[in-house]
Structure formats: C-alpha cells, structure tokens
Amino acid sequence: MRWFTKQNILLSALIPAIITIPLENNWNSWALVLFCIVAVVQQPIAETIKRLRKDHFWKLSALFFLWLTATWFWDTSGGFSEKYIEANAFFLFGPIALAIIPRISPQRIMIAAHAFIATVIIVCIICLIKSTLEYQETQDYRVFFYLYLGYQMGLNAIYLSNYCIACIIWLLYYAFIYKGPKPFQLGVSVSLGICAFLFLMMFLLSSKLSLALIIVFTIVMALYIGRKKKSLLKAALVLGVIGLTSVILVKNLHYLNWRIAETRLKPYSGPEDNNNGLALRIATWSSALELIGERPLLGYGLKGANEALVEKYIEKKFEAGIPEKYNSHNQFLEIALKSGVVGLLLFLTMLSALAVPAWKRSNFLLKFTLIHFVLVSMVEGTLEVQQELVFYMFFMLLFYYHPANPFLKKDETGLSSQRIFDHSHV
C-alpha cells in the first residue's frame, strides 16, 4: 500500500513537470523543482546512494554540466552571469532525479505520455481559436500559419511541430505496438482521429523539416505496424491516403506552398533570401565552423559564443542574423562553439550512453526520441531554449530510466530483470 501511495505521489509530481513544458517557462521551472523534491524523499538515503552508485549516465551528464560551467574561466566575453548556468542546470539535476526514484510502471508512463498529448491538443486548439479571433479583425490569413500561429501561445512553430510529432508517434505506439496492461483504453479510432488533427496542425505550422520528419516517421511506423499485424496492404493504403492528403494540402495552403518555393540550395546573398531557411542556415553553419576552427579545444564560453557569432555575421554582412542574434542552428556546432571539442565529445558520449541500451532493450520510445532529437539538432539549436531542452532531455531520460516496455531486460538502475506492472493491475 505504501508503494502504491508513493507511486501516486510520484505521478502527481511527474505530470506537472510534463504538461508545463509547452507553457510558461516559470511554471515548468517550478514544476521541475517540485519533481526533484519528490524524487529525493521517495526512499531512504541509503537506497538513493545505492542507485546513484550503480548508474553512470548521471555522472556523464554532471560532468558535461560542470564543463559548461567551467567555460566561465575562458569565456571570450569576460564571463557570464548565473542565468547561463541556471539554463543548463537540468543536465545536473534531471538525470539524478530520474535515476534515484523507484521504477515508474509502464501504465503510469502511459498516463504521463497522454497527459502531454492532452496538453498539446489544448495548446493547438487555443492557437486556432486565437488566430480565428484575430483573423476576424485583420482579415489576414497568415495568422493561421507558421510563427503567427504558434506565438498565439508563446511557442515557436518549430517547437510546437516537434511536440506534435512526438504525440503522433506515441499515440500510434500505444494503439498498435504496446502490449502491456493499460490504465485506460483510448480506442484506435480516437487515437487515429487525434493523429489526423495533429497532422493537419503541422501543415498549418509550416515547419518544413518537421513536415518531412513526420512523413518519414509515419511511413516507417505504418510499414512496421503493417508487418507486425501482417497487414502490409492496409498499411500501403493508409500511406497512399496520407500521401494524397499531403499533396493536396501543400498545393492549397498558399503560405506553406510559398515557404517551400522560397527554399533553395544557395548561399545567402541578401534580404531576398531572408525567407530561404536553407540559405540562412548555410550562413550560420559556415560562420560557426569558421569560429570553431579558430578555438577548437575550449570554445568561446556560454556567453562569448553567441557574441563571437554575431561579430562574424557583421564581418560577413549577414544582415538577417544580426538583430535576432541567431545561434548556429545546429546543436552540435553550438556545443562546440560554447565548450569546444571537449564539450562536444562529452555530449556525444551522453547520447551514446542512451542509444546503446535503447537498442539492446528494444526501448521503442527512447529510440524514437533519440532519432528525433538528433535529426532536429542538425538544423536547430535544440538545447538553447527551455521549451525544447526540457522536452527532449526529460523524455529521453524518462524513457531511459523507466522504459514504457513492460518486458524488462537488464536495467542499469539496478532493478532485476522482470515484468514491471502496476500492482493495481496484477
């Protein structure tokens, strides 16, 4: 009974930490603090120490955090304030909190995942309602697209699109792949209906990379599910419908069509390329690479990196990147800029430490989240804003320490190999 009560308390702290990710940063920060406090008091100190000794990932993450903090000593701007340290504090406290808590049952992981899905649905609906009200006043159809739409809830369109991708994959996983006991039955038709809504929302958000990713992920998921269910013909028909729908939407959503038409593989040549995302990124990537070549080992520091990048933009007359102080739009380049090759190697080691057990344990949700993170990180600074940093890192760690698969193999947190089910369902 005490175990069941503790699990409910833990879930009550976990859900706020998750559902506030797309909301106000301060709400999310306080929710994370609450979760860490609950994590610490879940069990005796001796058990906590035992778990920390057995787990090694949190040590890698803490070392990465300490290295980022150490860049203060050679930051080219002359140093940075505590807000730069605070922005990366999750690398220190997040893994520890998720490592020391008792194993969260797959049923409760399912509840937490669906709580996030529900939040994203509500956020999308509010964005659409606010855009409708604004359209009635302005008659400007652009309020239904891209940044205009996402910012109705203070979210970058790319962030909201990435939330939608995760929600779609999770819904398909729990509807067709997950085999453990469920705390509730959402129903296949309801799951597919929500997926369709989020899919359409992504076309309005008009993030080209996100649209490409969800189409690729959907193809892979449909074929995987079709093979498992021995219904490849049905999977092919579904993909045909999705493909036809995508073509119709691209042709008829003029703003999205214009954004795609503006994207061309060419160097940035002036204001005429300000809407060419690829040209903008070529400019930020080349600038970052030049700077890394000048200080490869230690980097420029948490504050100095962006200042050096803006100076490079001024030197190259990259006008679009100066007023907004664009980051490098590649998380791996960004880490190398800030903390040098040493920091980048530490971070890549962290990702490897997540990836190896993900594939060994057939941890589907962790594998997907890692792939999603790496692909988006190639063209975005995924750890530069709290709404993305916490989204990716929290869920990667949650699925690493508390797999949604009820059939456990060896767990690095020290749990024995067994099925882990909620007592209320056994």
Average pLDDT over residues 375-391: 96
Percentage of the chain exceeding pLDDT 90: 78
Q: What is the pLDDT of residues 107-117, one digit of tens each?
A: 999 999 999 99
Q: What integer pLDDT is reported at residue 29 of this predicted model? A: 96
Query: How confident is the model at residue 158, as a pLDDT?
Result: 95
Neighbours of 215 (CB within 10 A): 16
Q: Over 60: is that where the pLDDT of 411 sits?
A: no
Is 417's pLDDT higher than 50?
A: no
pLDDT at site 2: 62
> What average pLDDT does range 327-348 have in this prediction?
97
Question: Could you report the per-residue pLDDT of 39-69, keeping only the tens digit for each?
Answer: 999 888 999 999 999 999 999 999 999 999 9
Q: Tokens representing 150?
A: 């996402």
Question: DSSP readout, 316-385?
Answer: HT-GGGTTTT---S-HHHHHHHHHHHHHHHHHHHHHHHHHHHHHHTT-HHHHHHHHHHHHHHTTS-TTSS
The SS3 assignment for 12 reads helix
Q: How confident is the model at residue 415 (pLDDT cuts 50, 70, 90)?
A: very low
- What does DSSP assign to residue 174? I
* Residue position matching structure tokens 């940035």: 268
pLDDT at 272: 82
Alpha-carbon distances, residue 108 vs 58, 80, 126, 410, 425 (angstroms): 23, 40, 27, 20, 11
Confidence of residue 228 (pLDDT cuts 50, 70, 90): confident
Confidence category of residue 425, pLDDT binned at 50, 70, 90: very low
Instruction: Convert the pLDDT of each residue in 126-181 to its tens digit.
Output: 999 999 999 999 999 999 999 999 999 999 999 999 999 999 999 999 999 998 88
pLDDT band at 402 (very low <50, low <70, confident <90, very high): very high
In whole angstroms, give the CA distance from residue 42 to residue 39: 5
Upper half-sphere CA count for residue 281 (Cβ side, 13 Å): 17
Q: How confident is the model at residue 414 (pLDDT cuts 50, 70, 90)?
A: very low
Share the mean pLDDT of the chain: 91
Task: Check pLDDT > 60 for residue 419.
Answer: no
Q: Which of 361, 368, 351, 350 is nearest to 420 (CA)?
A: 361
Q: CA-to-CA distance for 98 and 36, rounded, in angstroms? A: 8
- CA dist 160 and 147 (Å) reads 10
Residue 92 pLDDT more than 80? yes
